[in-house]
Structure 1
Amino acid sequence: MPRDPVPEPPSRRPGKSLKFQLLSAAFGAAERVLPRGVPALDAAGIAAAAGGAMPNFAREGLERLTASLAAETRLSLFGRVSVRYDLMRLARNAEAIRRMHAAAPEIGAARVAAPVFIMGLPRSGTTFLHTLFGHDPEVLVPRVWQTLYPAARPVGFDARRNAAVRRTDRQLDMFAGMAPEFPAIHPIDADSPQECSEITAHVFHSLRFDTTFRVPSYTAWLDGEDDGAAFAFHRQWLQAMQHGTGGRFWALKCPEHTFSVEAILRTYPDARFVVVHRDPVHVFASVAHMTEVLRRPFLRGIDTAEIGRQVTERWIDGARRLVAFDRSGAVPAERLVNIQYETLTADPIGAVAGIYARFGETFTRAAETAMRQYLDAAPRGGYGRNRYRLADFGINAERLRPRFAGYVEYFGVQARKPGGPQPA
């Protein structure tokens, strides 16, 4: 049965401050009084508020998304307030990127040279690897705060003195209060590396909306769309963020890349890829749990069995696509690294050094030192203990194994070792 995330009354539960408990209770009380149609999600109004001419493909994405939200998602009051703010912010940020290019044409003339795309099944160690790349002072990664408040991150950037970083950290603290499990399963701060799904969300072509809000018709439409226009914007965003930084190359990460390889290669013909492999048994339960945690503050009902079905179907397909990508020969061997999760976590520095060597990049002493300091400060990426079961999401691993056996056999994926905190 679906579990209704009605905010609990204030208590002294560990990890959730009284301030956030009171806020949650206040939203719950307001929801019982205010009309459920407030605030409205008006695609035309959101597009107009952006202050510019939204491209047709982005406008269609916004229209599909808002229609799906209205028809298929039981948003809480917090969800209704949050999603409207989120969509307005995304539209305005996209217009800000356009204006950056218009004001300085040299931004768009600059290449995004040989970016590294980290991909694989979700919760397979890709975030951990991306974070390590982000500690190389010469490598560019999208930062959480940059996807909220777009601006370049110059050499010598001091996050402690940046207003956008401080504002983003306050927002992350607020969300952690509404979803207290989130920091343990996905520890981030404002200056942490961010996924590319947050970039393509600016033009409303991103699976992140379904992860957070449950929008099945929008997702079905998105699955049938070509991602070329979304990655054209992705390149414009990277060009604006790299301007004046002097970074050597971009390191980019998102499980969603699995479904967009053709568009990525059309946009970045010299792209390089790192694919991390992990036992799908762990992946299915972990990503289902993450989806539940992300949806809970925004929805008035959670159907965990539906989440389980959605996750397994999508990522069984994703596993097949990873095999097809590797077999296709679309990327030459010197631009492709396959790595096992266990290899990455057993010797992170050695794994990163090997990736740099394959790509002909210099693994500097400064990069190694920064990565080692991060690992010393946050063993295994700072992840907490897992508190979920496959059965919580109606997932029967043994029945599913034949459906991803081809992926496991092709890449020689090791069986899951249960227990303990594990980087995602």
Structure 2
Amino acid sequence: VLQAGPETWPYQRPQIELDVEDMVRVVQSRAGAGSADLLKSSSPTLTALGRLTKSLNDEAKLNHLGRAMMRRYLHQRLEARVQLADERSKNPAINQEEIRRPVFIVGLNRTGTTLLHRLLACDTAAFAAPRTFEMMCPVDTSQDADRYARPPSSDPRYIETQLAVEMAKETVAQFESIHPTAAHLPEEEFFFFEGAFLSHSFAVMADAPSMRKWLDDPSTKTQTHMAYLEHCERLQ
């Protein structure tokens, strides 16, 4: 009925707002002390999220389903960022991990960078490439005693991510032919940058020109540097 004639639907549909304060309120109920600064309204993370939600609310013209999906995704990214901050606070030894000789793959779109990335990642003795499920859900919050020994396919994060991947394939079927995705595959850095809400991927998901313009502005380079630091934290 909604597809054939939404004006004939007899019930009022709830309005879905992309609201930073609402997202923070939900996440805060499960947050620890380590993420207190992150959830302050003046934090760089929430400042960037505020710019993004304003652009989406004002410009994206998302339909009801689009707003629901975007709200869920932004909430997931914020929650993952909070979990990471809390995990590092509980385990300060993580900060002592040194990343030696990182390898950067740089290239234009459609030039084979993804293929090269995944080819190098096959050499697990030489390279450690985070997989998609580890990037989307960097902290294993389960309390299983054997969580470090179990195969990835039984990891709750893997299962959750694969479901999200399958949903994305259903929503945008042609994307799989452009950029194959799966929970177990290594992925590009945009998942890391999404944790700081400084990724162009959001402007690809929806029409958000003011957010894209802000990200492209040279004066935003300090924010981008912070996103890189976020990247390094997750690699640790």
TM class by smaller structure: 0.7 to 0.9
1:189 to 169, 182, 194: 182
4+ residue runs over 6 A deviation: 34-37, 154-157
Rg: which structure is higher?
1
Q: SS in structure 1 opposite 2:195? A: helix
**Letter paired with 1:160:** S
Matched-pair contact (CA < 8 Å) for 2:87–2:139: no
TM-score, normalised on structure 2? 0.81
Alignment partner of 1:231 out of 201, 223, 228: 228
- Counterpart position of 2:31: none
| Matched residue, 2:32 | none
For these two proteins, the number of residue pairs brought into alignment is 213
- 2:194 maps to 1:201: yes
> 2:17 matched to which residue of 1?
40
Separation in structure 2 between the aligned mates of residue 220 and residue 125 of structure 1, nearest angstrom: 27
1:71-150 to structure 2, matched below 5 A, reads 71-138=58-125, 139-150=127-138
Map residues 411-422 of structure 1 onto 2, 5 A cutoff: none
- 2:21 & 2:148 partners in 1: Cα distance? 39
CA distance in structure 2 between the aligned counterparts of 1:157 and 1:31, rounded to whole angstroms: 47
Q: Is the 8 A contact 1:27 1:77 kept in 2?
A: no
- 1:170 CA drift (Å): 2.1
- Whether 1:158 and 2:143 are equivalent positions in the alignment is no
The separation in 2 between residues aligned to 1:186 and 1:194, in whole angstroms, is 10
Stretches of structure 1 that go unaligned for 5 or more consecutive residues are: 1-25, 240-424
Q: CA separation in 1, counterparts of 2:16 and 2:195?
A: 21
Q: How does 1:293-372 map to 2 (within 5 A)?
A: none
CA apart distance, 1:219: 1.2
- TM-superposed deviation, 1:68: 0.3
Which string of whole-angstrom CA distances, capped at 9 and with x for unpartnered residues, describes residues 91-116 of structure 1? 11111111111111110111121111
**Counterparts of 1:169 and 1:96, CA distance in 2:** 20
Deviation for aligned residue 1:228: 1.5
Any stretches of 5+ residues in structure 2 without a counterpart? 29-34, 141-146
| 1:352 match | none
The structure where strand makes up a greater share of residues is 1
What one-letter code is carried by the residue in structure 2 that aligns with 1:141? A
Who is 1:420 aligned against?
none
Relative distance call for 1:112 and 1:131 in structure 2 (3 A) is same
Q: How many angstroms apart in 1 are the aligned matches of 2:6 and 2:102?
A: 45
CA distance in 2, matches of 1:142, 1:29: 43
Equivalent pair of 1:197/1:208 in contact (CA under 8 Å): yes
